[in-house]
Chain A
Amino acid sequence: MTTLLALRALALYLLVVLAAGHALAAWSPPGQAPAGVVLCAFLLAAAQAGGELLAPRLSSADRGWRSRVRLAVETSYAGVILLVLILTLAFPQARVLAVEVRLLLGLQCAFLLLEGLRGDPLLAIVNGLILAFVTSIHGGVPATGAVLGFLGTLVPFLVFDHFVRVLSVYPRAAEAPLTATALRQALLATLPVLAVAALLLAWRPPLAYADVVWDDLDSDMKDVSLAIYRLLAIAGFMGGAAVYVVSRFLRSRRKRDAPIQDMVDPVLAAEEPLPPALARRRPEYEGANGRVVKLYLDVLEHAADQGWRRRPPVTSREFARQVRPQSPALDALTGLFMQARYGRENLQPADVEQAEQAARKALTDLSSRGGRGRPG
């Protein structure tokens, strides 16, 4: 479980650092970009580590206070997003976009620090998305890197987060060795998405937004040196390692909250193959009688799915009596079934039609009413 938590933290860090790194590479002057990228990688790592430290205190803080602060933060951030989008579309100037990137980077650090307030890093992920959006306007390598980086880290993050969320509710199950399984699932889920995205971007490389205004001083932002990406990779790797280690250390020391449900620790027996399914073949019933018998058996099967299972020692009439409050129509169908199955004479078409109506009504009654079945 600790490993899964650390992997989740690592995936989140890679998501935010790739988004921020590509945005800085796209919208920083070439002279400032390397320092900016390195600084951003370490700042984000520090913020995430700080968030891990603060999380227990924030999550156990007064609920009312937490709700108010959350509402304020989320409302303010919604306003910031709106502002960024309006500025981007209305004033697509390189300098303005550079300022936006720095603002979003600052917010990213804050969201990582305050992750414990919400209990999840949704705001950090949304912020990463906005950074990817701003980067995509630049086009070229930064846009490609931002998109692929975002998709390639979002999917593994969701997988690790899902495993962590479920396992945290079951204390004993959390000890099960699921790291390899989670990694495999993450890989299997990421590869197709990444492959499709990469193919599409290779087919249609992203171009810069035509309306972007490049000042004389900012014109060198158009070309992004690949050396920045090497630096981003190294800084991201170091930051990621730091986040992984810190997360493992902090999580292993953290007290686990008491479960709020009565979670039982089951004893898991060994896995065994399923027995071969026995072919359930009903005997062939012919004619009008056969039709009515088949209708009755279909209704019984549907009733069993809804929780009204007829037990072997219970006769058809007894079963109809039990189900009567739920479905009075079954009485009529049962009577016709008895005639069809055990009677000496063949039923008439009118009887078959009556049986069909009763069967339809019974199926509707059993499906629509909310109550579960009672013992047969």
Chain B
Amino acid sequence: MIIKKSLLFFSILLVLYCFLCFILPRSLISNLEPGGYGHSFARFREINAYKNIDILFLGGSRCYRGFDPRIFNAAGISVFNLGSTAQSPLNSYYLLQEYLDGLNPKMVVMEVCLESLSLDGVESFLDIAVNHKITKNIALMGLALNNFHSLNTLPSEYLKRLLWRPLTQNIQKEILNDRYIPRGYVEMDRISLDKSCFKNYEFIIEKRQLRYLRNIIELVQRQGKTIVLITIPVPKKRWDTISDYQKVVRFCNAMAKKYNIRYHNFNPQVFLDDVKDFKDAGHLNSSGVKKFNEEFIKINKLN
């Protein structure tokens, strides 16, 4: 009797769930609209057009706002920025599983920062789930997060597209002051440094993210490609204020030694101006990106 009742209960729940997926407006129930703030929709729509690139950049918003493909193109280097909002190593690993063979880069540059190592990866997954096909790797990413939010986003996104609006019908929404540049770069000119940028926060690095970072290094090396770890520049004042940044530097140096790979920490840096070259405490603006990318090309002897 209890089993029959339970089966009936869950059957009705499933029907109601599908019905609500159909009728509830997306804006009311999704944290993120297709597109999101990082132009993920535009990025994932064009990625399959690129093959055999020179450098693949992996990371969160600092990454896709930090590497301008036009500057690299001028130096004869083809690149792609594979990032999403608040992307952590966990998210990067599954995206790499999805696209490493297709893009076939000679070098993978993995952006490592304190903030991304302290994330659980759910925000990035939500950004990816609403802007990408639900493939095996995206589903595995959702399951790996071990979070109710990601677990119910997977079927609900799948059902929404099946019943209501396929992904192909969406368009990338325009975001004020941001411009999407092909090959995954998001350009912006805003400057909005505020006092909160320079408070000392305590960060707790997730062990799981460190594990996925190791997985990324091993995956890339198994494919016979070069991997470089980098920490993108932040304002000097922020680097000096947040003491936990040193934990990441120590960890990356240890990884570099263990796997015999290069690690470049661009902090504290001398070639950028805290006021003129940064949009906020974590992101370069277009002026800063130009200087940083030229420095990156010089250090890696890519020219």
Q: Do A and B bind each other?
A: no
